[in-house]
Amino acid sequence: MQNQALQNKQVAVMGLGLSGQSCLRFLLARGAKVIAMDSRTQLSAQVPEGVSVMLGDFDANVLKSVDLILLSPGLPLSHPAIGEAQAAGVEVIGDIELFARFNQKPLLGITGSNGKSTVTTLTTAMLQSAGLKAVMGGNIGTPALDLLESDYDVAVLELSSFQLETTHNLPLEGATVLNLSADHMDRYDSLEAYRQAKLRIYQHAKTRIANRDDELTQDGSETQTFGLSACEKGFGFDAPSGRLTLDGKPLLDFAQCKLMGRHNLLNIQASLALAMCVTDNLSALVETAYHFTGLAHRCELVREHKGVRWINDSKGTNIGATLAAIEGLRAQVKGKLILIAGGDGKGADFDQLLPGLVQVDELVCLGRDGSKIAALKSASHMVDNMQAAVDKCAALAKPGDLVLLSPACASLDMFDNYQHRGQVFAAAVEGLL
């Protein structure tokens, strides 16, 4: 698409978060006439001059009068006003679709319920070590449209199901669905509806990379897989030797990697498969995998104190993430595994957490839905706040034990975000010293 295609077009930007603000900047720079709309009645964000602002309830008549609607990922397509606009012939897209229409460089795409940010960051680091100018954005860090202002050889995009709903023509050199578990059930009416949104990432991908241990990530179109089993084609894992393999041959000794947990073995495989879509410098990719330390609040070691390890997995905001953390770490724990869980469950069915709770020795719960999780295990304890949770775990723990914060819930019932929750946990752990 050329810049002239937006000149003098009437465009409504719905939702003024980070992606919405990037849309405003992008559209104004290309001569569009922009209406900014947000369901909130007050905004902290500064709106550029020349932009008409409408707050509160969305006006369907206004939306029906524009040429294009750019919809924030946080707003559902099912909103009645959006439906009326679509029925009137107005095109509704998101910032990722607009980015795709202007981008001319190779792209890699990552989605899934868990691990997206780790794989996006690791893949980008691998490509940079291989000598490519690689940038990342989308659902992590830089909004996609802002990437167009930078000089890059390849862009690595983290994509949420919400973003994929409004993306129709995104050409990708490689795409992966890492895993799928129930999440955002307060927005989707079924797991299958959520899955179908995720699978949209494969539509225009040259190489489609699926998790062969998770059938929900597969739609029959995948051209490459990764998993925890031995495999003669693509990426596999030889459990007796602890080595990651490529086409059946040893490639990487996972015990020498800094990332913890079996789920991160899958993340490394996915990152390698993606990076190899645009470079053949395999030695540089493997070297990066060995030294990558992971991201904050994702199975991050906060402290080992009196023989007890304290792990911050505050990013575990859904059941699948917590199951992955428990299963990934259990084998590395000689003593008891003590789990801190609870928060806003977003309509999740916590019975799905039961296979993980069987592997947990003590359970400490807090937050809005903490009591629902506590009810699933006899060895459980309810507390009022994070400080009390850490104090309770400290009283329960002995040398050789591991305390894991992996809430299986969102954080907004008690904290600003998952980062804030992780910081409060870490501060409480440091206070034990």
Catalytic residues: 116, 139, 184
Residue 289, φ and ψ in degrees, nearest 5: -60, -35
Pairwise CA distance, residues 228 & 346, whole Å: 30
What tokens appear for 366 in the block? 């807090």
CA distances from 391 to 384, 385, 408, 422, 432 (A): 11, 10, 20, 15, 8
Consecutive H or E run containing 155: strand 154-158
Residues 340 and 397 sit within 8 Å (Cβ to Cβ): no
Residues 83 and 105 sit within 8 Å (Cβ to Cβ): no
Query: What sections of 228-385 are H helices per DSSP?
Result: 262-275, 282-291, 319-330, 354-357, 370-374
What tokens appear for 336 in the block? 């008891």
Query: What sections of 229-337 are H helices per DSSP?
Result: 262-275, 282-291, 319-330
Place of tokens 């050889």: 153
Pairwise CA distance, residues 352 & 296, whole Å: 26
DSSP state of 92: E
Partner residues linked to 248 by β-bridges: none
CB-CB neighbours of 39 under 10 Å: 15
Consecutive H or E run containing 422: helix 418-431
Tell me which residue of 240, 214, 243 sits closest to 226, measured CA to CA.
Answer: 214
323 three-state secondary structure? helix
392 three-state secondary structure? helix
Pairwise CA distance, residues 253 & 157, whole Å: 28
Tell me which residue of 161, 112, 107, 142 sits closest to 270, measured CA to CA.
Answer: 112
Residues 411 and 314 sit within 8 Å (Cβ to Cβ): yes
DSSP state of 384: S
